[in-house]
Amino acid sequence: MPDSCALFPSHTHNLPGGGSMRYAVFEPEGSPRGTVLVLPGRREFIEKKHSELGREFLTRNFRLIIVEWRGQGLSARFLSSAARQRDHIENFQTYLDDLHSFYGAVVRSGLQGPLVVVGHSMGSHLALRAANEGLLPEATAVIVTAPMLALASRRVHAFARVLCFIAVKLGRSKNYAPGQHDYGVQETTFDNNPLTQNPQRFKIMEDYFTAHPNMTVGGVTWGWLRSALASMHLVQKPSYLERITIPVLALTGGKDRVTPARELSRYLDSMPQADHIILLEARHDLMNELEPIRAEAWKHIDGFLEWAMPA
């Protein structure tokens, strides 16, 4: 196994209803300015998030906690054996229940200084739901990148929800949705990928999945897609995000084909203390992008933290 793909020392949080979540805690060299809780996106894991976010927050003297959702990384999976790679869940509420348990046992008990919650894509979606539903009571601020609030237009979402309902009724909940499959050639091909324009950062996930096959996550099932669409439908309701009153920084990509910025704006702009910044040249995985794009993102993050966390 290459040293570049070594795993960080980590811990396990056992969940009340069974299953477990892998997580890691990183301490800065100086006195902590605060604590950052990182909620990854789909397929992501501790080592990837440390590569794109961890070092940056540590050099800014933040204590860092990165957790892996159930179903990805080396946390417990919902499916096993030949179906292990399938990204499956029956209800996104399960993710929130897991977060509630993890937050109480790990985050709150070891909190140092103000808490900032940082999410990406699916993790951003869940961070905003948790903020709305009172699951992050100590959070001072939330930073979300490419939040999974919409994958397409409302009309397309409505049509997809009908298809998912039928598929689940026919007993296909644990089957891959159309176009989904085990992690393979399509996901490892850099050309025209929807995530990043940075070839070195694009390879991080592929290299780890090769070195540690148990970390590999494939496409989504009908059950996952139905649950995701239902959760997005909830978040899209008028006044849902308006109830989030803590400061929020939302960074989206102008070239994002996964969660298009034009679809996200109508929801992000409804939050009373939200600042929505569109990085025009960024794709979906904007913190894993080309260095000029990353530098622009961190400029906005630093400014936001100075405003949200005055000394």
DSSP string, 35-93: EEEEE--TT--HHHHIIIIIHHHHHTTEEEEEE--TTSTTSPPSS-GGGTTSB--S-TH
What confidence tier does 238 reach under pLDDT thresholds 50, 70, 90? confident
pLDDT at 2 over 50: no
- pLDDT above 70 covers what percent of the chain? 99
So what's the pLDDT on residue 3?
56
- H or E element, residue 143: strand 139-145
So what's the pLDDT on residue 284?
98
Q: Mean pLDDT lowest for which of 2-6, 33-37, 150-154, 230-234?
A: 2-6
pLDDT at 23 over 80: yes
So what's the pLDDT on residue 1?
33
pTM as predicted: 0.97
Cα distance between residue 253 and residue 258, in whole Å = 10
So what's the pLDDT on residue 28?
96
Q: How far is CA 196 from the centre of its chain?
A: 16
Q: Tens digit of pLDDT for each residue in 192-231?
A: 999 999 999 999 999 999 999 999 999 999 999 999 999 9
- H or E element, residue 115: strand 115-120
So what's the pLDDT on residue 110?
84
- SS3 string, 277-299, reads EEECCCCCCHHHCCHHHHHHHHH
Q: What is the CA radius of gyration of the chain?
A: 18
- SS3 string, 52-68, reads HHHHHHHHCCEEEEEEC
Q: Tens digit of pLDDT for each residue in 129-156?
A: 999 999 999 999 999 999 999 999 999 9
| Non-local CB neighbours of 191 within 8 Å, separated by 6+ positions | none
Mean pLDDT of 270-277: 94
Q: Tens digit of pLDDT for each residue in 74-128?
A: 999 999 999 999 999 999 999 999 999 999 999 998 899 999 999 999 999 999 9
Mean pLDDT of 228-235: 98
Q: What are phi and psi of 267, to 5 degrees?
A: -90, -45
Which of 140, 114, 136, 112 has the alpha carbon at shortest distance from 123? Answer: 136
Q: Tens digit of pLDDT for each residue in 152-194?
A: 999 999 999 999 999 999 999 999 999 999 999 999 999 999 9
Q: In the Cβ-directed half-sphere of 268, how many Cα atoms lie within 13 Å?
A: 28
So what's the pLDDT on residue 216?
98
Which of 48, 43, 52 has the alpha carbon at shortest distance from 293? Answer: 52
Q: Tens digit of pLDDT for each residue in 38-88?
A: 999 999 999 999 999 999 999 999 999 999 999 999 999 999 999 999 999
So what's the pLDDT on residue 311?
67
